[in-house]
Amino acid sequence: MNYNSILPNETLFIGDYITSQNLSTLTNLKVTHIISVGFQKGYFPNKFKYLTIDIKDDPTENILMFLPRAVSFIEDALDNHNGVVYVHCVHGQSRSCTVVIAFFMHQYWKNPMSSILSNQNDVIQYDTRKQLLHYCYNHVMACRPCMAINPGFVKQLELYRQMKMIQVQNQIRTIRSPILSQPHATFRSMKAKSEFYNHGNVRVFVTMNVDNHSEVYVCKKCSMERFGPENICLELSTEELDQLPTSEYWSSSKGGLEYYATYRKRSDIFRDFENALHLEKVFKVEPLDWMKSCMVEDYNDSLLRSHGTLICKCGQKLGYWDFCCNGEYPMIVLQSRVEKRVHRSSVSA
């Protein structure tokens, strides 16, 4: 059997799928809840409560959209049911470890003094907000030495960290509305791309509230507000990416070598194509309400076209969208047709 305890009180385990199919071992561990990542159904549905997340261990997969549900599942099992949770994927190295790291980051923001970091004397001296992913990553690796999270999932964990930090800062909000921030815009945009692949549609198009922006980007022709700085997807710099935790084991694995040889090359080609085509910076933004009329199929309002041109109400071409591009984010707006202005008064869009 291949598993490790991640909490001192042995209520949270990470392991492989073979252990998840061994009823004797699960019973001895007193498991009550199981998260199966990479599987469509649980092996003992009448014995345990399951959460299944059907996702491949690939850097381009969107695991971020499943993390809030998985974190809530673990939290509910431990806090409300005195449960024991077993989290697994195939080998218990990438997908399952990603889920557990997200849970620890959530626990820290919820109550730092009761988190796994509370007994570390150096936490207060460091900028915990920036180092939190590293602390949680190192803790899980110490408990599960074979951990090997692919770099795409690590990048999404950093995005999750930034989203949690902003959510804590916005707890005083009295109305329920989308949180406006670049990390949240990225999350919604990635989710929109996944929804398009799965269903041909997108559930959430954000309505821009110009009063929430000190600066706005407007159509050069008619001055209609089209998006704000918080609607732009977050793209980590090369320096920020280099500072993220890395797994040498994954990088040297077959999947890692294929990733660096193909995916990064395709990304570089796509970036060069953008630069050559537009000769300027482009904005990649989340799905906004005004875009939907451009995207729907002429014969079916419930389906979206995979790509096309974004047109302002005044008829000005602002850019284009592509749900099937090589990049992570589907929306692209050209700078040449929009300009940034200081927001002074509300203009109807």
Position 327 scores a pLDDT of 74
Assess whether 123 and 223 both reside in one domain.
Answer: no
* DSSP-derived 3-state class of residue 141: helix
Assess whether 161 and 188 both reside in one domain.
Answer: no
Share of the chain above pLDDT 90, in %: 58
CA distances from 110 to 107, 159, 165, 167, 228 (A): 5, 17, 10, 11, 29
Assess whether 161 and 186 both reside in one domain.
Answer: no
The tens digit of pLDDT for each residue in 184-229 reads: 999 999 999 999 998 999 998 998 776 666 789 999 999 999 999 9
Classify burial at 122, counting beta carbons within 10 Å of its beta carbon; exposed 0-12, middle 13-18, buried 19 or more: exposed
Q: Does pLDDT of 268 surpass 60? A: no
Name the residues annotated as catalytic: 89
* DSSP-derived 3-state class of residue 214: coil
String of DSSP letters for 113-127 = GGSTTTT-TTTTTS-
Assess whether 46 and 162 both reside in one domain.
Answer: yes
Assess whether 85 and 13 both reside in one domain.
Answer: yes
Position 153 scores a pLDDT of 95
pLDDT band at 128 (very low <50, low <70, confident <90, very high): low
* Residue 187's CATH number: 2.170.150
Average pLDDT over residues 106-131: 66
Assess whether 84 and 210 both reside in one domain.
Answer: no
What does the DSSP 8-state code read for residue 175? S
Considering only CA atoms, give the Rg of the chain. 22
pLDDT band at 340 (very low <50, low <70, confident <90, very high): confident
Cβ–Cβ under 8 Å, residues 183 and 166: yes
Q: Given 169, 191, 207, which residue is the final one in a domain?
A: 169
How many folded domains does the chain comprise? 2
Position 31 scores a pLDDT of 97
How high is the mean pLDDT of the chain?
85
Spatial strand order of the sheet with 3-5 comes to 3-5, 12-15, 85-88, 33-37, 49-53
Question: pTM here?
Answer: 0.86
Measured CA to CA, the distance from residue 246 to residue 23 in angstroms comes to: 34
266 token code pair: 């395709």
Measured CA to CA, the distance from residue 274 to residue 280 in angstroms comes to: 8
Measured CA to CA, the distance from residue 132 to residue 162 in angstroms comes to: 10
pLDDT band at 121 (very low <50, low <70, confident <90, very high): very low
Position 113 scores a pLDDT of 67
Classify burial at 98, counting beta carbons within 10 Å of its beta carbon; exposed 0-12, middle 13-18, buried 19 or more: buried
Assess whether 74 and 220 both reside in one domain.
Answer: no
Measured CA to CA, the distance from residue 172 to residue 193 in angstroms comes to: 30
Within a domain: residue 273? no
Assess whether 226 and 316 both reside in one domain.
Answer: yes
Owning domain of residue 204: 182-235+284-342
pLDDT band at 321 (very low <50, low <70, confident <90, very high): very high
Residues 6+ apart with CB under 8 A from 175: none
pLDDT band at 114 (very low <50, low <70, confident <90, very high): low
4 token code pair: 């490790």
Assess whether 24 and 65 both reside in one domain.
Answer: yes
pLDDT band at 125 (very low <50, low <70, confident <90, very high): very low
Position 210 scores a pLDDT of 63
Assess whether 118 and 157 both reside in one domain.
Answer: yes
Q: Does pLDDT of 169 surpass 80? A: no
pLDDT band at 110 (very low <50, low <70, confident <90, very high): confident
CA distances from 144 to 100, 121, 246, 250, 287 (A): 11, 22, 15, 14, 38
170 closest CA partner among 108, 235, 109: 109
Comparing 49-58, 282-291, 327-336, the range with the smallest average pLDDT is 327-336
197 token code pair: 């692949």
Position 271 scores a pLDDT of 56
Q: Does pLDDT of 133 surpass 50? A: yes
Within a domain: residue 47? yes
